[in-house]
Amino acid sequence: MSAQILDALSRLAAQRFGSFADAATSVLDLLDDASPQGSLVLGQIDWETSECRVIESRGDGVPRGSVIPLARGVPATGSAAGELLDADALAVLCPASWVAAPLDAADGRVVGLLLATGAGGQAPPREVAQLLLVGARLLTYEWESISSRAELRRLAEAARDRASTDPVTGLPNRETLLAAVDREWQLSKRGTVESYLVVCHVRDREAIIGRHGEAMANLLLKDVAEVLGGAIRRTDYLGRTSPEGLGAVLVGCKGPEGALAFLGRVERALARVTDGRPAGLQLSYGIQPLADAESAHQALELAEISARSAPARRNGTPLGTSPSRGMS
């Protein structure tokens, strides 16, 4: 192997790539320099469609974007690179003498292929075939590195979601809702917008669990969450505040009458949604103007105290029209 190729190979191995595309370009450039009259193809294997899609190429071989069928019945693991592609389909695209190297993932599954010819469609020189194996290994490493980073990001996002989401209702949890309450409380204190915090308290959750089981209690809580989600506007916020409570920040709500109108819509919808459930709901509500609280925490606490102390209401009975501030 020439000193020039060895030098290029050492520089290639020392690089850190920002993407798989960067790595593919560098590998193909090296192979192209080693065999300038030949053809090169980098293909991605799709086992679901049994195809190899050409994602990069050099020379007069198979053009980029071409799709080559895989050989019939070839397994995803344990196959030699030369056995993977349908020979007749490849011969139609480029009737040449190819050598190939697989991109083998850690689980043994082939995720891609590097193919090369020499000058005039002949088999490439031995040193190019050797470089092909090195290039395939480097690209496999880059592919797995990028896949691992993507998986880590996905897991981190899922962990963040779990940390901020109530697992029963799928709504933001108390801490996440409180952050939204704090933002709107600051705006309310400045007089920018008038907003109200409404808490819906399920008064008989423990009794429902005792009579019908926790699954039924959770189902009814999901019913309430679904109805609240359908009743709020896109500018409002909704979350679970406690095992028995759900809270909604009504942004730009026009006084307690607006909050009561919102709860009226909720109760009418709940009556329809829960009709036929073996367990009925007894709810109580707390309404708290954000501007009247000393902090977001206090606003939520006052709304919760109000909801717990308000009379229990069987779902579907009419709401009053003039509650005292902070009470339903």
Q: How far apart are CA 136 and CA 131, in angstroms?
A: 8
pLDDT at position 159 is 63
Q: Which residues pair with 69 in a beta bridge?
A: 51
Please report, as a single letter, which amino acid is at residue 153.
Answer: R
pLDDT at position 175 is 93
Q: pLDDT tens across 76-115, in order? A: 776 777 788 888 888 887 767 888 898 988 778 888 999 8
3-state DSSP of the chain: CCHHHHHHHHHHHHCCCCCHHHHHHHHHHHHHHHCCCCCEEEEEEECCCCEEEEEEEECCCCCCCCEEEECCCCCCECCCHHHCECHHHHHHHCCCCCEEEEEECCCCEEEEEEEECCHHHCCCCHHHHHHHHHHHHHHHHHHHHHHHHHHHHHHHHHHHHHHHECCCCCCECHHHHHHHHHHHHHHHHCCCCCEEEEEEEECCHHHHHHHHCHHHHHHHHHHHHHHHHHHCCCCCEEEECCCCEEEEEEECCCHHHHHHHHHHHHHHHHHHHCCCCCCCCEEEEEEEEHHHCCCHHHHHHHHHHHHHHCCCEECCCCCCCCCCCCCC
Q: In what order do the strands lie in the sheet with 282-289?
A: 237-240, 245-251, 195-202, 282-289, 313-314
Q: How far apart are CA 195 and CA 23, in angstroms?
A: 54
Closest of 99, 91, 95 to residue 117, by C-alpha = 99
Q: How far apart are CA 161 and CA 165, in angstroms?
A: 6
Q: pLDDT tens across 145-181, in order? A: 877 777 766 766 666 667 788 988 989 999 999 999 9
Q: How far apart are CA 92 and CA 240, in angstroms?
A: 62
pLDDT at position 324 is 34
CA dist 42 to 28, 103, 164, Å? 8, 10, 42
pLDDT at position 252 is 92
Q: Which residues pair with 285 in a beta bridge?
A: 200
pLDDT at position 19 is 77
pLDDT at position 322 is 34
* Structure token digits, residue 234: 């896109």
Full pLDDT tens readout for the chain, 328 residues: 567 667 767 777 777 776 788 888 888 888 888 877 888 999 999 988 999 999 999 887 788 888 999 988 888 776 777 788 888 888 887 767 888 898 988 778 888 999 888 777 777 878 888 888 888 988 988 888 877 777 766 766 666 667 788 988 989 999 999 999 999 999 999 988 999 999 999 988 888 888 888 998 898 899 899 999 888 988 999 999 999 999 999 999 988 999 999 999 898 888 888 877 777 778 999 999 999 999 999 999 999 999 999 887 654 444 443 333 333 3
Q: How far apart are CA 296 and CA 318, in angstroms?
A: 30
pLDDT at position 157 is 63
